[in-house]
Amino acid sequence: MIRQFHWAKNILLHNLQLKLISLSLALLLWIALNSEPKSEIGFNLPLEFRNSPGKVEVIGTVDSVEVRVSGSSSLVKRIEASNLSVSIDLSDWSFGERTYTLGESSVSVPFGISVSKITPNKVRLRFEPTEHKIVDIHPKIIGKPQEGYEVTAITCAPNQTQLEGPASHLVSVQDISTDSLDISGRSSNLSSKLHLFVDDPLVRLIGNHESLVEVSIAPKGEETKSGRGN
């Protein structure tokens, strides 16, 4: 017992002067921070997901939240959005809908700053399996050829691509389109490599992102005349 007492005493008295200085500085800092006027500021922050499940779609109506923080005026003036983050831990996810509460523990803030308000403070998420689907590509042609000419054929290669996304959104996607190809005033064939576009933001392209669209243009009635000649 006496030996333990001496051991504790030695630890306590070791570098006692430095310990007292550190304690004094910490006390002075605490007094300085708490004697300053308090300020509050708000930030619109992206909502982050931690421990997101693989091959699962996390769907929600909220992408960002407003976080109001408070502290001494000198600290609040130096805060930037990059100093803060708000996140939800998805470790306990399950298929279907789940409601998560956002509190102080959800927000990472610098020392001396506290969270005063989070809007919204509840977020509902839906978890669905990630699925894949192959759909047709439809070229989007605008305009009309030169007077006396007509479009005789429209092709694209590839004419299909693969999509990825939540099952409830993929089911309604039957085909996708290319960017527009303007044939106004054309009197000859036209080809162009065009980007593909999906209307639903939750559905992603994982196959081809481009397609080569070819438009055949010929004088009106040329095919018919050719056919008669044969």
- pLDDT given at position 36: 62
User: What was the pLDDT predicted at 115?
Assistant: 95
Residue 130 is predicted with a pLDDT of 95
Instruction: Delineate the domains of the chain, giving CATH numbers in brackets.
Output: 37-120 (2.170.120), 130-223 (2.170.120.40)
Q: Around Cβ 108, how many Cβ atoms within 10 Å?
A: 13
State the CB neighbour count (10 A cutoff) for residue 195. Answer: 10
Q: DSSP state, 11?
A: H
Beta strands in the chain (DSSP E): 38-50, 56-60, 64-72, 85-89, 96-101, 107-108, 114-119, 122-142, 149-157, 160-166, 175-182, 190-197, 204-205, 210-219
Longest dimension (CA), the chain: 120
Strand partners, 15: none
| Averaged pLDDT in 10-residue chunks for the chain of 230 residues | 53 62 68 70 95 93 93 87 95 95 94 93 96 96 95 96 95 95 96 95 93 96 51
Model confidence pTM above 0.75:
no
Residue type, 154: I
CA torsion, ordered 75, 79, 83, 88, to nearest 10 deg: 90
